[in-house]
Structure 1
Amino acid sequence: RVTASIEAERARLTTAVGEQTAEKKRLSMLLEAKQRLQADTETEIAAEKQRSQALAARAGSLKELIASLEADKTRKAADQAKAAERKSGDVDQAAPNGAPASTELASLPVPEGNRLTAAAPFSALQGQ
């Protein structure tokens, strides 16, 4: 009976040591991740400080600073619009050779032969 108790205690201690080792490994991985995030954050902060110093050097007054920030904003928006336009242009160009692009096709009138009924003014069709 004492031997069984000793064996049970030994198994419990072995399990506890295994759990502690796993926890230590988990904590070391968390610490490494935290250090990486901190380094990334410090790099971003340094870049932001450098950007703010460049803006401060470029602007002589608050009005000039606001104007330059607005110009940057409009330039970025124009660049994004051009990129979106190029992307949509690539999609339209994907049509088979000789076939009009999808936007051109949508703007074309429906041929008379494809209509189910003859064209009629709206006032003539009211009340039907």
Structure 2
Amino acid sequence: MDRISKIQGTATLFARDPDFDIETYSTFAFGSYFSEEEHGLVRWRFTSRAAPVAREFVFHPTQVLTDMADGSLLVEFTASGWVEMAWHLIIWGNDVEVLEPPELISILDEVRRGEVKVLP
């Protein structure tokens, strides 16, 4: 919406599906992007150094946090949006490891090398 420069009203009406629930729909995505092809289990491990800060984040409304014996933190949820996740994870540097899905592991590696050519 930050790039909208002009709006115009129309006579076209929109009727929301009465069975649509925004709370349920929003759990399918990480942030704003949803893709059936990218939807799946996400597992991240934060180092013991990053765990106290990561524990304070709500990465996703369905996340499950597990404190590991070595002091690291395991974060698990189901969502889509691999590139958006990689953009977020880059701020954690090497204090986060993606365990699942393999596609996100690859994308995060590409982001870290500066190879992803996608505008935010």
Larger radius of gyration: 1
Greater helix proportion: 1
- The alignment's TM-score, normalised by the length of structure 2, stands at 0.21
Greater strand proportion: 2
- The alignment's TM-score, normalised by the length of structure 1, stands at 0.21
